[in-house]
Amino acid sequence: MTNVDDAWVGKLIRHWREDAGASYRTWFLWDERIKNFRSIRRGIQAVVDEVKADTFGNAYRGSSLETVVHSIAEQRQVFKGADHAFLWKPKLRIPDIYEDRANQVAFGRFLETCLCCNAEAHVVSAIQALDQARIKGLGPAAANLLYFLHPTWVPPFNTAIVKGYNALTGANVKLGKWDEYLAMRRGILDLNKTHRSLLSNDFGAVAGFLFDVGSGRYPLPERDTSAALERWRENLERVRVEATGAASKAEQAAREADHTHTEVQGWLRDLGLALGFDVWIASNDGNRPYGAGRLSDGCLQRLPGRLAATASAETVRLIDVIWIDKASQDLAAAFEVEHTTSIYSGIVRMLDLALGAEGGTARNFFLVAPDNREDDVRAQFARPAFSRVAELDLRYLPYSELRGHRESIARFGSGLKGVLAIARPVGQIR
């Protein structure tokens, strides 16, 4: 946009801010708007939890996703119709997250990553990873979920916003494609930066402005948009090039991460067996290749009755590695391996297990993670939400300690003494 265009757009934004019927006053300054962020975040976490536990179901109606999307759709005119993109369309079989379990897991992983990430680039990477999954019918409308997680990083998305953006900038954004959305996001970042004093760090403001333009509330004059259209094409090409590179790196990283995660589980399996424990491997990991066989070789095929009967049984089955005392059949130790996945989610699973097992009195829970993730662990342990971690004696076990000492512990150790000696209590991470 030229300087003349910037001045003209600035005048239009000022008029929009003063318009009593525009979305700036009716929605962006609405007191209830901010209050809904926390409940929507909780709703998205519920979706993630149900996908992980395989209890999400195969229908939109009555699901946790319907609840959270309905809350978003109630956010007045800007999000009216937000649920349309998630309604199950049986003839088209879209969006394909209700009948295809792999797609559902990819969607849940996308939401969990965005729930827990602490950098803008992580959100963009999560979007690119979801795009690579090629889930039929699941497009940029999902950005409306992300807006309520990261309002300063992710602008909302709907038909009117796209129309407003195209009319204002001369771009040619098409609905339904993530790369088009990411290119539009680049343009929105520039627009918001240019007019920051009139808009907000919260992208709800600029999205509301574009929504009102796209809805026809502010007809725009005819302008020569050829230069703007060329810039739009350059942005789109840049996004596509970045996505190609990110996809290649992500595929390689995923293969390496999966191998390392399985390898660490194998270390813990072998160490537990050597120390005389029965060992349980997460039910969704047992068939992974390891050594000359499977990861679950030599391990329990079903949980002992006492653990299977607890309220947290579904969580127990998904814990990466569990050591069980042979005599009492009680839980002796549990390990969550967090190679690249969210530290936050690992702690939550361990807390769920700890509070659900044996009336909340179980101990010896270990979060196993690479040494270079210690800062992530430190940051998550400091969260007020995890104030009970200390009393549950959750410990951090760095890869290097496990790698360097597991053989000597297996040969000369007994019980949990050796593992406790190399793990760090929460309050002693340094």
Q: Domain spans of the chain? A: 3-250, 254-428
pLDDT tens string 114-166: 988 778 888 998 999 899 889 999 999 999 999 999 999 999 999 999 999 99
Give the pLDDT confidence score for residue 1 in this predicted structure: 46
Q: What is the mean pLDDT of the segment spanning 353-364?
A: 62
**pLDDT recorded at residue 254:** 47
pLDDT score recorded for residue 38: 86
Q: pLDDT tens-digit profile of 48-63?
A: 988 888 888 888 888 8
Structure tokens, 62: 């009555």
> Residues near 91 by Cβ (< 8 Å), separated by ≥ 6?
none
Nearest to 303 by CA among 275, 323, 273, 274: 323
pLDDT tens profile 406-422: 999 999 878 899 999 99
Quote the percentage of the chain above a pLDDT of 90: 40
364: left (phi over 0), alpha (psi -120 to 50) or beta: left
Q: What is the mean pLDDT of residues 363-371?
A: 84
Condensed to tens digits (0 to 9), the pLDDT of residues 210-267 reads: 999 999 988 886 665 566 556 656 666 776 666 565 555 555 444 444 458 889 999 9
pLDDT in tens, 182-204: 999 999 999 999 999 999 999 99
- What is the average pLDDT across 85-94? 89
Note whether 75 and 26 are within 8 A (CB): no
Peptide bond into 90 cis (omega under 30): no
DSSP sequence for 305-346: HHHHTSTTHHHHHHSSEEEE-TTT--EEEEEEE-SSS-HHHH
Whether 281 has a pLDDT exceeding 90, the answer reads: yes
- Measured CA distances, 66 to 45, 71, 86, 94 (Å): 13, 9, 8, 15
**Which residues are CB-contacts of 185 (< 8 A; sequence separation ≥ 6)?**
154, 155
**298-347 pLDDT tens trace:** 999 998 887 787 777 777 788 899 999 999 888 899 999 887 666 666 67
List residues bridging with 323 in a β-sheet: 279, 333
Torsion of the alpha carbons at 41, 201, 157 and 161, rounded to the nearest 10: 150
- pLDDT value, residue 267: 95
Q: Which is nearest to 145 in space by CA: 130, 166, 160, 165?
A: 130
User: Do the bridges between strand 293-294 and strand 289-290 make them parallel or antiparallel, or are there none, so unpaired?
Assistant: antiparallel
Q: Look at the alpha carbons of 348, 353, 356, 361 in this order and tell me if their dihedral is positive or negative.
A: negative
Q: Output helix, strand, coil percentages for the chain, rounded to the nearest 5.
A: 60, 10, 35
Name, in order, each residue with C-beta under 8 angstroms of 21's C-beta and a sequence gap of 6 or more: 217
pLDDT tens digits along 371-430: 877 777 767 766 666 666 556 677 889 888 999 999 999 998 788 999 999 998 765 544
